[in-house]
Amino acid sequence: MSYVAVLQARTNSSRLPGKVLLPIKGIPLVVLAARRAANKGIDVVVATSKEESDDALVRVLQEYGIPFYRGSLNNTLERIVGALSGFDDETRVFRLTADNVVPDGQLLEEIAKDFEDRKLDYICCNGVESGLPYGVSAELTYLKHLREAAISTHDKDDQEHVTPFIRRRYGISSFNKYKQKSLGHYRCTVDCLDDYLTLENLFLEVKKPIEVTFNELLSAIEKKRFQPINCNPASKLIIGTAQFGLNYGITNAAGQLTPDLVEAILKTAITNGIEGIDTARAYGNSEKVIGYALKSGWMGRVPIITKLSPLDDCPKDACKTVINAFVDCSIYQSMNYLGSSKLDVVMLHRTQQLNSMKGKVLERLLQHKDAGRVNSIGASVQTPEELEIALNNKHVSYIQMPYNLLDWRWDEMIPLIHTKQKERGLKVHVRSALLQGLLTSYNTEHWAKAHVDEPQYIIEWLQQLLAQTQTHDLSNLCLNFVRSQNWVNGVVVGMESLEQLNQNIKTFCEDEMPVEMLEFIQRTRPVLKEETLNPALWGNA
């Protein structure tokens, strides 16, 4: 049986143009990837395009004596099949990419053995299922299947991504020998400048970059820049960004954060597998700051949830044309500031916008969704009555609501939330888990602003919970309570510093709170008034 590896490479990547020619230990990325893949004897051919933009790449390949083939830029499937015209149908073909330099001959041999032992038609090594970092990636299939796909499909996605047709026809099997490593949320690819600097640093102390095994490299990746600080991703954590553009929160001493701190917080959070980033048109220049921080190739790695403008300036009796203009302005401003041609989630800033102005606001938002400018629509709710309206609207895919361990107002709505989550895959995100910081404050003036004149009994109850749960601080207690609810898909948490972020990441990677403790908290919690549970009623707090 024969094996060959095809390495895809091009120089016109949008995030980091020419990245495949950047040097690591003095060796161009594409050459290092090819030679590492071949270091156990497997033949490797680089498949690049006929475009003039790849002429420099070809000259480098010629200089280093790397076999190559030039074909279609956009039809990668055709390019790979063309590169293998001299091989027979039964040849086993590895598909690799030039921006992934950690895979080596040892990894390919292990994948091949698994492929043969299980008598597979297709196998994939990538990400969480493999237990290996994103970028320690390879696919293996028969050349006859690639040729079949090239003849059978004209779908652009199939042609660009090469193997979707094969996966549909023959099924997906994963190489999971290293699943116990649990490194699937780590990152070893080169997609942007930060990625390149990380990989360059990884190879810095390596004496033989072509021969070093992938396992030796992985043993050093955990301590490198922009790698996770925990073995598990902080999967329910959503970064709240009101303080990126405003002075926000009753206990916020830091004020609006600097752009450099915002960038550090967002990149660290994304690295650690957060659920998303929450912003809004009403959060000052939050969207603009986020767009600037992520413009260097980080945009798109996690969903960004933004909110439509409150539309306070739109006349209540406005005609359809005027309403459309206000909605369009909000959408296009968000796209412009975030630097994105498509918004992941747009939430209505107020639930009333679902039905206000004769439903024209929602109607226009749905038109933007149909046009591909918005992926999903959501609604921000403030009261149980608003929650019921949002739950019963089929167009709402996301709901954001306030909730904390003292908030009794939502208890009767939980069964309906479960029902709608099962019916349409609805996601529920919770904000104000710390009640804008009030629940972690011992300052009686803060409690007074929230209409609690004698907060000592609440503070004592919280202290008793800390002891019973053996929790180290109130923030950890409050966040664990909320994220442990089985109907909560994400928790929006604001950050004032990297230290806070790192602590929150650790919290969200802990075991969830036992059901018995959740029930005990709900059974024994002090009953607060609506004017305390709703920060909108705090006046000038």
39: domain range?
3-221
**454 strand-pairing partners:** none
Same domain (yes/no): 273, 401: yes
* Interval 369-373 mean pLDDT: 97
CATH number where 254 lies:
3.20.20.100
Token readout for 135 is 């970028």
Same domain (yes/no): 188, 273: no
CB of 478 closer than 8 Å to CB of 440? yes
316 found inside a domain: yes
Over the stretch 514-523, which tens digit does the pLDDT of each residue have?
Answer: 999 999 999 9
* Interval 335-357 mean pLDDT: 93
Same domain (yes/no): 331, 275: yes
Same domain (yes/no): 244, 213: no
Q: Tell me the whole-structure pTM to 2 decimals.
A: 0.87
- Number of domain units in the chain: 2
- 138-142 and 92-97: which strand pairing? antiparallel
448 found inside a domain: no
228 found inside a domain: no
Same domain (yes/no): 190, 258: no
Unique residue bearing structure tokens 């038109």:
367
- 138-142 and 122-125: which strand pairing? antiparallel
Same domain (yes/no): 81, 183: yes
Same domain (yes/no): 217, 245: no
412 found inside a domain: yes
Same domain (yes/no): 202, 311: no
320 found inside a domain: yes
**399 strand-pairing partners:** 379, 428
Least trusted range by pLDDT, from 254-268, 449-463, 465-479: 254-268
Say how far apart CA 41 and CA 51 lie, in whole Å: 30
Same domain (yes/no): 288, 341: yes
E strand intervals along 190-327: 237-240, 276-278, 304-307
Over the stretch 87-145, which tens digit does the pLDDT of each residue have?
Answer: 999 999 999 999 999 999 999 999 999 999 999 999 999 888 899 999 999 999 999 99
